[in-house]
Chain A
Amino acid sequence: MFPNPLPNAARTMDSRQFDGDDDVTGLLEEWSRGNDAAFDALVSVVYDNLCRIAHRHLIGERADHTLDTQALVHESYLHLAGKPGKGWRNRAQFFAVASKAMRRLLVDHARRRKAEKRGGDATRVTWSGDFGATDADVEEVLALDDALERLGERDQRLLQVVECRFFGGMTVPETANALDISSRSVERDWARARTYLYQAIGPRKAEPQG
């Protein structure tokens, strides 16, 4: 449904192959030298980590199927990056990666719920975070993901800004820091990206032709 840049192995729930500290440090170096594939690989590391935590949260502790994205990212951060000597430049850098992973997680979660189709609320995805709980229709989440994918094809940076702000819950200065652009640019990109997404999935998406 959307292009998946990751090797399949990286997406298995129990994969541990990138969990090693050396891998992360090496990938971070690669990334800082401009290797985009390294970024993707980092995302998959964080994604795996997030999935494991989420799995535990959803199966073990929470009955309401609500993903607490903030808690997930925070826990993942402590696990992967919070300790000294892990090579992450700062929290924002980690969050940029985690935001992308979080988007993937939410979308996969939505897909699974759609496939399960159990019970009345199975077609909804709920997650909470900095901005309170969001209860979204599964189809909507998938439509947003689609729109994001197309946006990313046109302008990679708009996509990154949305991921950081929307999925990662990062503030403007944090996003600016992570993407190495000015706060003003983040604000402008956000306004544009939001407009495009709104146009794509907003209330008027099904426009009757006059």
Chain B
Amino acid sequence: MKPNGDDRWKEIDEVFAAALDRPRGERSEFVREVTGGDVDLAGEVMDLLLAHDEAESYVEGSGSQLIARLCRDLSLTDRLPSPELEGELLGPWRLVRRIARGGMGSVYLAERADSRFEQQVAVKVLRRGLDTEDIVARFVAERRILASLDHPNIARLLDGGETPDGRPYLVMEYVEGDPLTTYADERRLGLEDRLTLFAAVCDAVQHAHRHLVIHRDLKPSNVLVAASGEVKLLDFGIAKLLDPDDPESPAGPTRTGVRLMTPRYASPEQVSGEVVTTASDVYQLGLLLHELLVGRSPVADPLSRGQLERQIREEEPVPPSRAVDEETAARYRTPLARLRRRLQGDLDQVVLMALRKEPDRRYASVEALARDIERHQKGLPVRAAPDSARYRIGKFMRRNRLQVTATLAAIILTTGYGVTVTVQGQRIATERDRAALEAARANQVTGFMVNLFQGANPDQTGGREITAAQLLDLGARRAGAELSNQPEVHAALLSAIGQSYAALGRFGDARPLLEEAISTGGLGDPTRHVRDLAQLADVVFKSDMAAGLDLYRQALQHAEERLGSLHPVTGRVLAQYGEALSLGADSVQRSILLRDSAVAVLRRDPEAQEDLAFALAVSSYGRPTSEAIPKMREALDLRRRLYGERHSAVAASLNDLALGLEPVDPLAADSLMSEAIVILKEILGPEHASTLRSLNSLAALRRGRGAFAEAEPIYAEVIRIRRAVYPAQRVLLAYGLYGMGLVLVGLERPLEGETHLREALGILEEELPANSFLLSLNRAAIGHALMTQGRHAEAEAFLLPAVTTLENGDVQPLDLAQNYERLILLYEAWGRPGRAAVFRTRLRELAEAKGLVQYQNPSR
């Protein structure tokens, strides 16, 4: 204990005690919240929480026996079942051997002692030390519930009583079988057989519901299938009677149920602690069906309890037809494409309807769910219907009041409602009218350009060669004077020159031209107007994100109103807007939605291949590698076909693909990125924003694989150019500084590294919202730099809170793993092996949960 005043100690103890009452994953967040700005208090409590975890995982034999004894959870010794029940007699039942050991007690295989007839049973005995009132009450409730149920697919209750030392036990039908999903997969059952099994499960649950019992914990391991193919529903341990007189039944959420549920199989209302009804079982049956059809749960492995709950409450499950892969198909022994076709439509709808977030929008009963399965098996259409467009729009509007119209396009496309014919009809009509006008205008522009090139004639320029950029400058100067009487041509020209400037990376020159072009309101060319708006948004976004997003919103609104939701230019704007949103911390979902609808819109138009390539490229951002890489490759192929090898768009695709490939093949990534940079330097110049971005990425790739010496000069180049040419883009500068800082630490120049990292942090703290995970990454990096200088306490002060924040946020598992590793190194260097052990455990768990092979080596 540290020397503190007793009042201070009481304060610390109070927070510590309250934190221990929270679920483990929420503790550090809780401490942060209640301690407010009192960092010392938070630190003391975090120390205690660490000591608590450490004590809990203290390995016996690793040091002092006294401490080992202190750390051993003495209550465990209370909970051991009385010496061994094996061989004991409980009533007429002789316990043969223990077959399972669960949270509440052990299950034994037993047989009749009088052996007049052979009967094997399962005996469930409550654990010693758990015989507190509420647990005994629950055990008794299970007995009452089972006694009320009599169904061939529910394991039957045969007997019950109390052990000699006063613990209650249940005697149940012994079921020898495999969990539902294992059974189906091991036998390579086809779709029909799986549905038949599932129907039997529904039947059992229905029976329970008719007897006012909600199971509340349906999951594969609670549904066994015997070798004979007979389905048995088990474990009504947390089931609840729908007794109208039950005081907890009508209003009070059953907190015990919430605590005891299996988190991954919990329904949204269980997670939120709301009233649990039969609809909860419908949901869990939906999960079960999904897992039975696809081979894995639609609920992904979470990093934290908070993330899991958010996922259950908010994320829409992927329909089975899209979730299946080759592995699934192999288990069915069916070609993947055929399996997909079988699942698409009806079965997708059935699963999604059972899995809806709102209990009252699921199937009204298990019976209704079962009937739909039956209808499907008979080839009749199912009753389940996709969410109505109206509902989804309403829901979306509630969630995001922004860009609702854009989503309309997404909805129409993704739900397969087809095309609104009128929109297209209109477009064709106006297109025809416009053709004549455009021809006339084109002549005028051509005339102007001819003049311009004549102006660039060597005779008139004194023999100097004129660059395209100079030509543009010339055009920009002359346009106002020579075309003032032709506003439409003038606007078109301003637009063209503005776009060209932007393409050259001369954003400051592009902006006024684009603004002027936009101020004309498009002048009869809505397509150009929208393009200009989007281009301006892009330009503005680089220096002022909020203003840029606002312009994108306007661009999209104009596109929707004046071109229609399915116009390829609308698709282009969707993709650009989606790309911009993908950089925001809290808009990733919206961003993906926009980008996906962009791809869908643009695929419809064979003329829009350029934009499609762009949309494909940006739609890969922020996705898992396996999803992203095919999109990137498609984009790269499209672009190579369209432009040949030497083109900035090809370079952009090479850049993206390199980043996507990094985790799989870092050396291939390096060469692709280098290839991109050669093209970019040649076409856009060494100081162009895109060139810089790829340079930064190349440096990061090299840093990532530890090639620090090769990374350093590249970071230096990036930072130098950014400071000189783009002083306003401070966040991008900070990224460069951050990378350079880490490289310097890697090169054993930690003091220089720290300086870079602190400058980066200073910028990010000013530019990013306080909860951005980038801040945490940056702080953690500073901690790392401090550690390598032997400044352990300071290092911990940076690293530990950063890791806590990362643990509680949506962050790449790799980032978290890396920082666990840093903490471990820190504590080892500091001579605190206990704390190192705590984080080694967390790292191992994370690595296993997320399949981070590089961190699974137990020696680390």
> Which of A136, A144, A202 makes the CB contact (< 8 A) with B834?
A202
Interface string of A131-174 (1 = CB under 8 A from B): 10011110011001001001101110000000001100001110
Contacts of A184 in B (CB 8 A): 132
Query: A3 CB to closest chain B CB, in angstroms?
Result: 16
Is A7 an interface position by the 8 A CB rule? no
Interface string of B808-848 (1 = CB under 8 A from A): 00000000000000000000001111110000000000000
> Which of B74, B78, B131, B832 makes the CB contact (< 8 A) with A204?
B832
> Which of A140, A191, A199 makes the CB contact (< 8 A) with B20?
A191
Q: Are B129 and A173 in contact (CB under 8 A)?
A: yes
> Which of B16, B54, B70, B832 makes the CB contact (< 8 A) with A207?
B832
Contacts of B51 in A (CB 8 A): 195, 198-199, 202, 204
Contacts of B831 in A (CB 8 A): 208
Q: Are B66 and A171 in contact (CB under 8 A)?
A: no
Q: Are B69 and A134 in contact (CB under 8 A)?
A: yes
Is A11 an interface position by the 8 A CB rule? no
Is A183 an interface position by the 8 A CB rule? yes
Q: Are A196 and B1 in contact (CB under 8 A)?
A: yes
Is A188 an interface position by the 8 A CB rule? yes
> Which of A137, A153, A173 makes the CB contact (< 8 A) with B66?
A137
Contacts of B63 in A (CB 8 A): 203
Cα–Cα distance between A131 and B55 once the two chains are bound (Å): 17
> Which of A134, A190, A196, A200 makes the CB contact (< 8 A) with B65?
A134
Q: Are A165 and B74 in contact (CB under 8 A)?
A: yes
Cα–Cα distance between A140 and B65 once the two chains are bound (Å): 10
Q: Are B48 and A199 in contact (CB under 8 A)?
A: yes
Is B596 an interface position by the 8 A CB rule? no
Q: Are B834 and A204 in contact (CB under 8 A)?
A: yes
Contacts of B10 in A (CB 8 A): 154
Query: A161 CB to closest chain B CB, in angstroms?
Result: 10
> Which of B65, B66, B78 makes the CB contact (< 8 A) with A172?
B78
Q: Are B793 and A210 in contact (CB under 8 A)?
A: yes
Q: Are A195 and B52 in contact (CB under 8 A)?
A: yes
Is B71 an interface position by the 8 A CB rule? yes
Is A209 an interface position by the 8 A CB rule? yes
Contacts A190-B74, A202-B55 given; does A131 touch B1 at CB 8 Å: no
> Which of A135, A150, A165 makes the CB contact (< 8 A) with B1?
A150
Q: Are B9 and A154 in contact (CB under 8 A)?
A: yes
Contacts A210-B791, A210-B793 given; does A202 touch B67 at CB 8 Å: yes
Contacts of A197 in B (CB 8 A): 70
Is B796 an interface position by the 8 A CB rule? yes
Is A201 an interface position by the 8 A CB rule? yes
Contacts of B791 in A (CB 8 A): 210
Contacts of A207 in B (CB 8 A): 832
Query: B83 CB to closest chain A CB, in angstroms?
Result: 13
Which residues 53-71 in B have Cβ within 8 Å of A in the complex? 54-55, 58, 63-67, 69-71
Is A130 an interface position by the 8 A CB rule? yes
Q: Are B1 and A200 in contact (CB under 8 A)?
A: yes
Cα–Cα distance between A204 and B834 once the two chains are bound (Å): 7
Is B450 an interface position by the 8 A CB rule? no
Is B314 an interface position by the 8 A CB rule? no
> Which of A188, A204, A210 makes the CB contact (< 8 A) with B796?
A210
Interface size range on A against B: 35 or more
Contacts A150-B1, A198-B51 given; does A135 touch B65 at CB 8 Å: yes
> Which of B20, B71, B132, B794 makes the CB contact (< 8 A) with A210?
B794
Cα–Cα distance between A202 and B835 once the two chains are bound (Å): 11
Is A192 an interface position by the 8 A CB rule? yes
Is A75 an interface position by the 8 A CB rule? no
Is B433 an interface position by the 8 A CB rule? no
Which residues 191-247 in B have Cβ within 8 Å of A in the complex? none
Cα–Cα distance between A69 and B13 once the two chains are bound (Å): 31
Contacts A137-B66, A198-B71, A209-B793 given; does A192 touch B77 at CB 8 Å: no
Q: Are B792 and A210 in contact (CB under 8 A)?
A: yes
Cα–Cα distance between A61 and B55 once the two chains are bound (Å): 36
Closest to B49 in A: A195
Closest to A192 in B: B17
Contacts of B376 in A (CB 8 A): none
Cα–Cα distance between A172 and B64 once the two chains are bound (Å): 24
Q: Are B55 and A198 in contact (CB under 8 A)?
A: yes
Which residues 398-424 in B have Cβ within 8 Å of A in the complex? none
Q: Are B64 and A140 in contact (CB under 8 A)?
A: yes
Contacts of A210 in B (CB 8 A): 790-796, 830
Contacts of A137 in B (CB 8 A): 64, 66
Query: A138 CB to closest chain B CB, in angstroms?
Result: 10
Which residues 72-106 in A have Cβ within 8 Å of B in the complex? none
Cα–Cα distance between A187 and B67 once the two chains are bound (Å): 18
Q: Are A192 and B834 in contact (CB under 8 A)?
A: no
Cα–Cα distance between A192 and B129 once the two chains are bound (Å): 20
Is A52 an interface position by the 8 A CB rule? no
Query: B94 CB to closest chain A CB, in angstroms?
Result: 28
Q: Are B69 and A194 in contact (CB under 8 A)?
A: no
Query: A14 CB to closest chain B CB, in angstroms?
Result: 30
Q: Are B55 and A147 in contact (CB under 8 A)?
A: no
Query: B62 CB to closest chain A CB, in angstroms?
Result: 8
> Which of B13, B58, B72 makes the CB contact (< 8 A) with A192?
B13
Q: Are B793 and A172 in contact (CB under 8 A)?
A: no
Q: Among A130, A172, A187, find the residue whose CB has the most chain B CB atoms closer than 10 A.
A: A172
Cα–Cα distance between A97 and B67 once the two chains are bound (Å): 23
Contacts of B165 in A (CB 8 A): none
Q: Are A198 and B75 in contact (CB under 8 A)?
A: no
Q: Are A155 and B13 in contact (CB under 8 A)?
A: yes
Cα–Cα distance between A151 and B54 once the two chains are bound (Å): 20
Contacts of B13 in A (CB 8 A): 154-155, 192
Q: Are B794 and A188 in contact (CB under 8 A)?
A: no
Q: Are B69 and A131 in contact (CB under 8 A)?
A: yes
Query: A192 CB to closest chain B CB, in angstroms?
Result: 6
Contacts of B767 in A (CB 8 A): none
Query: A123 CB to closest chain B CB, in angstroms?
Result: 13
Cα–Cα distance between A89 and B6 once the two chains are bound (Å): 35
Cα–Cα distance between A192 and B15 once the two chains are bound (Å): 11
> Which of B54, B78, B793 makes the CB contact (< 8 A) with A171?
B78
Is B84 an interface position by the 8 A CB rule? no
Contacts of B17 in A (CB 8 A): 188, 192
Is B47 an interface position by the 8 A CB rule? yes
Q: Are A198 and B67 in contact (CB under 8 A)?
A: yes
Which residues 1-53 in B have Cβ within 8 Å of A in the complex? 1, 6, 9-10, 13, 16-17, 20-21, 47-48, 51-52
Contacts of A202 in B (CB 8 A): 51, 54-55, 58, 67, 834
Q: Among A144, A154, A171, A204, find the residue whose CB has the most chain B CB atoms closer than 10 A.
A: A204
Interface string of A44-60 (1 = CB under 8 A from B): 00000000000000000
Query: B27 CB to closest chain A CB, in angstroms?
Result: 12
Contacts A155-B13, A195-B52 given; does A203 touch B833 at CB 8 Å: yes
Cα–Cα distance between A198 and B51 once the two chains are bound (Å): 7
Contacts of B834 in A (CB 8 A): 202-204
Q: Are B9 and A140 in contact (CB under 8 A)?
A: no
Query: A139 CB to closest chain B CB, in angstroms?
Result: 10
Cα–Cα distance between A142 and B125 once the two chains are bound (Å): 42
Closest to B2 in A: A199
> Which of B52, B65, B67, B78 makes the CB contact (< 8 A) with A203?
B67
Query: B822 CB to closest chain A CB, in angstroms?
Result: 15
Contacts of A208 in B (CB 8 A): 792, 830-831
Cα–Cα distance between A195 and B48 once the two chains are bound (Å): 7
Closest to B793 in A: A210
Q: Among A151, A166, A196, A198, find the residue whose CB has the most chain B CB atoms closer than 10 A.
A: A198
Query: A6 CB to closest chain B CB, in angstroms?
Result: 24
Interface string of B670-683 (1 = CB under 8 A from A): 00000000000000
Contacts of B74 in A (CB 8 A): 131, 165-166, 190
Q: Are A190 and B66 in contact (CB under 8 A)?
A: no
7 contacts between A and B (CB under 8 A): A141-B66, A153-B6, A173-B129, A198-B58, A201-B67, A203-B63, A203-B67
7 other A-B residue contacts (CB within 8 Å) besides A194-B55, A202-B67: A140-B67, A165-B74, A166-B70, A191-B20, A198-B67, A203-B64, A208-B792
